[in-house]
Amino acid sequence: MDRGVPSLQTSRNMTIRVSDVNEFRPTFSSSEYSAIALDTAPVGTSLLQVLAIDGDAEDNTVSYSILSQDNTTIEFSVDANGVIRNEEPFPRATRSNVSPNGLPVL
């Protein structure tokens, strides 16, 4: 939230779908991730890092990716280390809630 009157806040929810065809489901280090970013944060700012392990992989690593739905603009990116960054500028102070199990975070 900003310090203005009235204070402004924007939120973005994203769903993380985990695809796995092997014996063990990947497990995340947290059931929920949350980040707060200032509206002045430049594009490419590291917002948070998700971490998962996969018992099927030799080294327990997981590959991360963010997919667009309905050919919409992808506002975030995730790198091989699970670091999520903004790919678009924020309109004002923003709080992003992420739930790896796909449930909305209120």
What is the structure's pLDDT at 104?
53
Q: Examine residue 105 and state whether it is found in any structural domain, yes or no.
A: no
Q: Examine residue 3 and state whether it is found in any structural domain, yes or no.
A: no
> Considering its fold, how many domains does the chain have in total?
1
pLDDT tens-place string over residues 6-50: 767 777 776 766 665 677 778 888 888 888 888 788 999 999 999
pLDDT of 55 over the 90 cut: no
Mean pLDDT of 73-95: 80
77 Cβ contact partners less than 8 Å away, ≥ 6 residues apart? 66, 84, 85, 87
Q: Examine residue 54 and state whether it is found in any structural domain, yes or no.
A: yes
Q: Examine residue 93 and state whether it is found in any structural domain, yes or no.
A: yes
Q: Examine residue 70 and state whether it is found in any structural domain, yes or no.
A: yes
Q: Examine residue 106 and state whether it is found in any structural domain, yes or no.
A: no
Q: How many CA atoms lie within 13 A of 54 on its CB side?
A: 16
The domain that contains 18 carries what CATH number?
Answer: 2.60.40.60
Q: What's the domain range around 79?
A: 10-99
Q: Examine residue 71 and state whether it is found in any structural domain, yes or no.
A: yes
pTM of the model: 0.63
pLDDT of 75 over the 80 cut: yes
Q: Examine residue 33 and state whether it is found in any structural domain, yes or no.
A: yes
